[in-house]
Structure 1
Amino acid sequence: MPNFKTLLTLAILLAAGNFIFAQNVSAEDPAHENGGISLGEKFDIQNILSPYQMELKYGDLKPGDSLQVAFTAEVTSVCKNKGCWMKIALPAGEEVMIKFKDYAFFVPKDIESHTVFINGLAYVEEMPVEEQKHYAEDAGLSPEEIAAIKEPKKTLLFLADGVNIKK
């Protein structure tokens, strides 16, 4: 029978491996843990990508490319009007705008700093000034901040068909 030190070391190594590499979670719906929420289509979270892995995937995408993928990240902001979009930050600081397929569901407006599991389509596009201003208004930015938006911007986007929010 292994001793306590051996078990503790093994537990730490397993946790570190899951953090650095993919999130191998055996439950189909991680949101049910701790009273979380599942929205949209159910999806398998086996081998879900970490924020670091997702950042590498986005680095390979060019406008017009897309990639079906599932990943986990922390929410940085949500549409304050109705929860019709959210943003997450990748490790190097770039933000990903998450929209919801066919507007079939919205997320709660108070989930900043919550961990989410997201399934859908990752892509990159040039976002026009008007669309940037629309999202800036939704986010509650000041009129001065909105007026400062003057050029199209390369934007990392994700069209989610399913979201699991951990509480």
Structure 2
Amino acid sequence: MKTTKTLLLACTTFLTTVAFAQTPARNASGSAVPMKSYGEKIVPDGAVSVVQFTKMMDGRDSLRTKLACEVITSCTKKGCWMDVQLPEGKVMKVRFKDYGFFVPTHGLEGKTAVLEGTAYRETIDVATLQHYAHDAGKSEVEIAQITEPQQSITFTADGVLIGD
């Protein structure tokens, strides 16, 4: 009986350690990338690639997930959104749950990010697209060229990690 309890305790301790261990994100060369946290505390473990994410979104209106991606740009006014790279040159807008947190307004381009939250399909109206273009520092000419609503996948993040 004592051996069974000892074995059970050892297994529980091992599984708890494994479950709560934080594995740092890694870059292409396999080196650990230090990450800054915004919003709810999350860990990079279990994040899917953008290719996996795109496949998982096929035929769905929404998906709760954790995603590893590359940042293209962020809102230059407040840091209230960022764009991330998807396959085939597509871009996904990331907003932050209840505007409860913001990310840096500059210097995120090309950095690795891990997002945890909900992705969903939506139609973005012209006024909102023009607002995003203005926040991104686009010229008045570029903003005026936005005349059609856009179908897209948008992500509402509960928490974000961004590599230094």
How high is the TM-score relative to the length of structure 2? 0.78
Extract unaligned runs of 5+ from structure 2: 1-20, 27-31
Structure 1, unpaired ranges of 5+: 1-25
Higher strand fraction (1 or 2): 2
Flag the 1:104–1:30 CA change in 2: closer, same or farther, 3 A: farther
**Post-superposition offset of 1:36:** 2.7
Residue 153 (1) aligns with residue 122 (2): no
Q: Tell me if 1:27 matches 2:22.
A: yes
The 10-residue stretch of structure 1 (126-135 or 50-59) with the greater mean CA deviation from structure 2: 50-59
Q: CA deviation at 1:58?
A: 3.0
State the match for 1:72 in structure 2.
68
2:137 maps to 1:136: no
Q: Counterparts of 1:144 and 1:38 in 2: how far apart (Å)? A: 36
**2:42/2:161 contact within 8 Å kept:** no
1:54 aligns with 2:53: yes
Q: Contact 1:28 / 1:43 at 8 angstroms: preserved in 2? A: no
Q: Percent identity?
A: 39
Number of aligned positions between the proteins: 138
Does the 8 Å CA contact 1:40/1:163 hold for their aligned counterparts? yes
Alpha-carbon shift at residue 143 of structure 1 (Å)? 0.8
Once superposed, which parts of structure 1, at least 4 consecutive aligned residues long, lie more than 3 Å away? 28-31
1:95-110 alignment runs, 5 A limit: 95-109=91-105, 110=107
1:88 and 2:74 equivalent?
A: no
Aligned to 2:15: none
Q: Is the 8 A contact 1:39 1:162 kept in 2?
A: yes
Write the deviation string for residues 104-163 of structure 1: whole angstroms up to 9, x where unpaired: 111112211100000000001010000000001001111111111111110210000000
Alpha-carbon RMSD across the aligned residues, in angstroms, is 1.8
The alpha-carbon deviation at position 43 of structure 1 amounts to: 2.6
Moved more, 117-126 or 44-53: 44-53
Query: How far apart in 2 are the matches of 1:152 and 1:102?
Result: 23
The letter of the residue matching 1:72 is A
Query: Within the alignment, does 1:164 sit opposite 2:145 as a pair?
Result: no
Q: Check conservation: 2:39, 2:158, Cα contact below 8 A.
A: yes
Query: Cα deviation per residue 1:35-66 (whole Å; 9 max; x = unaligned)?
Result: 431111123443210111112123333xxx21
State the partner residue of 1:126.
123
